[in-house]
A and B are shown apart, each in its own frame.
Chain A
Amino acid sequence: MGNDQLKKNAITGGKGGTGKSTVAILFANQLVKERKKVFLVDCDVECPNDYLLLGQKIKKPTERIYAQFPKLIKKKCKKCGLCAKTCRSNAIFQAPGKYPVFIKDLCSACGACWIVCPYGAIKPKKEETGKIFVNKIKNNFWLVTGLTKAGLEETGPVVTKVKEFALDFAKKNKADYILFDTAPGIHCPVVSALIDCDTAFCVTEPTPMGAADLNLILDLCRKLKVPAKVILNQADLGDKRKIFPIIKKYKTKIEKEIPYSRKLVEAYSEGKLLDFNL
């Protein structure tokens, strides 16, 4: 029996360091206290931190994520250059009359090169791109963490895989809530995390930077058709008035204001967020 009641929320924000992870954890913990079954998913796969804030360790991955990268079979290659011409990531370099060279740092693992090669000289080779970890925090509270291999370019597909894994896991456990804590910014890993969510909570701060980046993330949410609400962190610092016109523009509202608190900063810096009540 599946769980149709599973609510999928994202915690995002555009700007970095506004308190996405803090809000995600406090939110998750609050729901658990209300006797809900909650899965928190750290989709900041480049720099996941939720486990640290929860005083957890990630050691043994529950699952590994793979992608396929090109490998040249020199014997079959006729140096025609079609692969280099097709690659839109500029990840294949070929000097005239020489074998193509694959530049791993630029490769997005899309597979176009082995599809076009007329001689079957490029074979896909499976390589690990990330890991998934599961920690049980306490009763009814799980944490799923995605982590990319350092230096990986395309981190969006890793987020997609982490989400699939977590959604499956949450449904099997008949969870009530799944919370996706996203990376900062608005590019692929954030898009992958936001897609198909019921609500996105955008955490921002009352500064011109917070305002500018809130504008971008709300624009993205609108394009993705994910309803967005705003959480204003460190609400009493800076100048709130910068935020209002943007809230108005996107016809949303400030769901919650979190005032600056030295205690919260300390709890964060000591990995003891669960003891903190909003």
Chain B
Amino acid sequence: MKNKKTKLVVASGKGGVGKSMLTSALAMLFGRSQKIVAVDCDADAPNLGIWLGGIRKWDKTIPVVASARPEINYQKCDGCGLCAKKCNFSAIKMVKGKPKVNPFLCEGCGACEAICPKKAIKLKPVQNGEIKIKNTKYSFPLVSGQLYPGETGSGKVVDEIKVEAEKFDYNLMLVDSAPGTGCPVTAALRGANFVVLVTEPTPSGFSDLKRVLEVVNYFKIPWGAVINKWDINSKLSKKIENFTKTKFLGKISYDKNIFKAISNLTPILETNLKAKKEIKKIYGQTIKATKNYF
């Protein structure tokens, strides 16, 4: 693993299954022996910093300008309506014979600018988020980011977060992905050497695991699976374990005390909860599973 830049992504499909908790713990464990950089690629709802004890003051904030919005020159516009017709995101509507842009639906793609016969539309760059960097007390950097509410381009903010993280001298990049399978997730997964998929033994957890696997397999990324809260349904947990076969990395018990610990901003590895031991075991299994890929 030495002298190589490898990327491990934690993803899940379903939200709230424990991605950030696991990423934070893995970062602290890997960070003891390697040069790591922890990256929060859930720019919609970034929580990795909280699981690392909470960040009061970031060292550095960098604006992200990765979106654009059309500006219409109504003096030039003759109200032909072509822009509204060609917008594939239903973001332009004709109001009283003039185009009106709904900024919340606009993707900033520039199709309207391209189609306008009167050259009345110009795309203007928009700051849609920011990147935040902190050298944590665990002696590794955390690169996080935030998509501004109401802006588009979640995936593009994630791309920028990764560009910034890449600037650090590291052996292992640990990436916490957003839930789902859309643009922020594919942006997090791009270039990954290994993915740890977190799930829970519920019909939703299992179904979403299969959904995100479709994307992971499409990118041909090797993966391993972790079942969180396994004991809320041990039968289904066993079924998921069997489904993941040799890719199974381990499981974590459900514990209401995790709620209490994180409410006091105590990272899971600094507690005496059962989950701590279980995660350490998962860490060991992850090292074994990634040996061939890293």
CB atoms of B109 and A269 under 8 A apart = no
A208 interface neighbour in B45, B46, B50, Cβ under 8 Å = B50
B88 contacts partner chain A, Cβ-Cβ < 8 Å: yes
CB atoms of B45 and A17 under 8 A apart = no
Instruction: Give the distance in Å from the alpha carbon of A88 to the alpha carbon of B184 in the complex.
Output: 16
A254 contacts partner chain B, Cβ-Cβ < 8 Å: no
Instruction: Give the distance in Å from the alpha carbon of A153 to the alpha carbon of B201 in the complex.
Output: 27
Beyond A212-B50, A224-B104, whether A88 also contacts B110 by CB under 8 A is: yes
Within the complex, what minimum Cβ distance (angstroms) separates B128 from chain A? 10
CB atoms of B181 and A269 under 8 A apart = no
* Interface size of B in residues (CB-CB distance below 8 Å): 65
CB atoms of B180 and A183 under 8 A apart = yes
Stretch at the interface among A33-41, A107-115, A131-139, A165-173: A107-115
Beyond A212-B47, A269-B202, whether A108 also contacts B107 by CB under 8 A is: yes
Stretch at the interface among B28-36, B210-218, B244-252, B276-284: B210-218
B97 contacts partner chain A, Cβ-Cβ < 8 Å: no
CB atoms of B88 and A111 under 8 A apart = yes
CB atoms of B16 and A16 under 8 A apart = yes
CB atoms of B207 and A49 under 8 A apart = yes
Which of B46, B114, B215 counts the most chain A CB atoms within 10 A? Answer: B114
Beyond A47-B211, A208-B263, whether A187 also contacts B154 by CB under 8 A is: yes
A28 contacts partner chain B, Cβ-Cβ < 8 Å: no
CB atoms of A116 and B114 under 8 A apart = yes
Stretch at the interface among B56-64, B132-140, B254-262: B254-262
Q: Please name all residues of chain B whose beta carbon is closer than 8 Å to the beta carbon of A270 when the two chains form the complex.
A: 233
Q: Please name all residues of chain A whose beta carbon is closer than 8 Å to the beta carbon of B207 when the two chains form the complex.
A: 47, 49, 52
* Interface size of A in residues (CB-CB distance below 8 Å): 71
Q: Please name all residues of chain A whose beta carbon is closer than 8 Å to the beta carbon of B262 when the two chains form the complex.
A: 207-209, 238
A17 interface neighbour in B14, B68, B88, B214, Cβ under 8 Å = B14
CB atoms of A269 and B111 under 8 A apart = no
Stretch at the interface among B1-9, B73-81, B144-152, B285-293: B144-152
B150 interface neighbour in A14, A53, A223, Cβ under 8 Å = A223
Within the complex, what minimum Cβ distance (angstroms) separates B164 from chain A? 17
Instruction: Give the distance in Å from the alpha carbon of A110 to the alpha carbon of B17 in the complex.
Output: 34
Q: Please name all residues of chain A whose beta carbon is closer than 8 Å to the beta carbon of B263 when the two chains form the complex.
A: 206-208, 238-239, 242
- What residue of chain B has the Cβ atom nearest to residue A109's Cβ? B88
Q: Please name all residues of chain B whose beta carbon is closer than 8 Å to the beta carbon of A109 when the two chains form the complex.
A: 88
B13 contacts partner chain A, Cβ-Cβ < 8 Å: yes
Instruction: Give the distance in Å from the alpha carbon of A151 to the alpha carbon of B42 in the complex.
Output: 17
Instruction: Give the distance in Å from the alpha carbon of A211 to the alpha carbon of B204 in the complex.
Output: 24
Beyond A67-B88, A108-B107, A269-B201, whether A191 also contacts B150 by CB under 8 A is: yes
Q: Which residues of B contact A (CB under 8 A)?
A: 13-17, 20, 42, 44-47, 50, 54, 68, 86, 88-90, 102, 104-105, 107-111, 113-115, 147, 149-150, 152, 154-155, 178-186, 201-204, 207-208, 211-212, 214-215, 218, 232-233, 236, 256, 259-260, 262-265
Q: Which residues of A contact B (CB under 8 A)?
A: 14-18, 21, 44, 46-47, 49, 52-53, 67-68, 86, 88-89, 105, 108-112, 115-116, 148, 150-157, 160, 183-192, 195, 205-209, 212-213, 216-217, 219-220, 223-224, 234, 237-239, 242, 260, 265-266, 268-271
6 example contacts (A-B, Cβ-Cβ < 8 A) are as follows A148-B182, A156-B105, A187-B154, A188-B152, A217-B149, A269-B203
